[in-house]
Amino acid sequence: MAKPVADSRSNRAAVQATNDDASASKLSCVKKGYMKDDYVHLFVKKQLRRAPIINRGYFARWAALRKMLNQFLDCEPNADGNGNIRKQILSLGAGFDTMFFQLQDEGKAPHLYVELDFIEVTSKKAALIETYSQLRDKVGETASISSEKGEVHSDHYKLLPVDLRNIENLNDIIAQANLDPSLPTFIIAECVLIYLDPDSSRAIVGWASRTFSTSIFFLYEQVVDTIKLNLVFFYRLDPSLHPFNLSSNAILSQGTVDTLLMYCNDLLAYYVAY
């Protein structure tokens, strides 16, 4: 049975509210010197001070993603006839993430960077990109920006609205974004699938596996466990969410060739410390 419209809207609003919370947490990490991000403050209305365990968790998440992204972008360049590297990054439920702008500063931005989220989120992000020259300059002078549609279109960056639960719409969005399924693609889903029912989560992972022949799926989610950090995150989120149960890899095995599972502490010890 379909959920009532009011319940659906309420759930979407709750999910979108966590986007603001995540941006504030990232800014807290930046202020404490855990990481460098020259853009996140543009997306935060009110600066908050987070507890050390929250800062540490966000740092582990950021550092692991950056390390894997750098490995993806640096290895075996896939160049076109002009020697330009042709790799893609697809961020599902991107929120106010600033990774594209950071990679631009570092000279590591891929051939194409695509971000997807609810229109309520992409509209706000498009408006902020249009408002701040620091952001607008990075997407390019010829970029088409529409806060009303929640869209940004430039040669190397796309911001598009979509409800990830509507799998049938994803292929249309991919075509609209000019993503090439044959190119190496790094897919990011940070704290996204937890807000979806298990069937939708399986459908998204399966779709990504079928669509992109050469891809890496970076998935960062809360899981059913007794680790203190996970419990802290759970208490901060809606109890009706769908955390992963690691007794079953049904979601992670949807067409994937290799799967690596790591806890937050493992990320700090392995990906960050070395």
Tokens of 46: 């009110």
Residue 206 marked ligand-binding: no
What is the maximum span of the chain, computed from C-alpha positions, in angstroms? 53
Residue in the structure block whose two tokens are 């609205």: 161
d(CA 183, CA 270): 29
Residue 163 marked ligand-binding: yes
d(CA 18, CA 233): 11
In this structure, how many other beta carbons lie within 10 angstroms of the beta carbon of residue 267?
Answer: 20
d(CA 204, CA 198): 10
In this structure, how many other beta carbons lie within 10 angstroms of the beta carbon of residue 74?
Answer: 10
Q: Could you tell me the sign of the dihedral formed by the alpha carbons of 240, 29, 38, 215, in that order?
A: negative
Coil vs helix vs strand at 136: helix
Helices 119-131 and 5-31: angle between axes, nearest 10 degrees:
40
Residue 76 marked ligand-binding: no
Residue 93 marked ligand-binding: yes
Residue 261 marked ligand-binding: no
Tokens of 251: 């979601």
H or E element, residue 157: strand 157-161
**Annotated binding-site residue numbers:** 61, 93, 163-164, 190
**Annotated binding-site residue numbers for S-adenosyl-L-methionine:** 61, 93, 163-164, 190
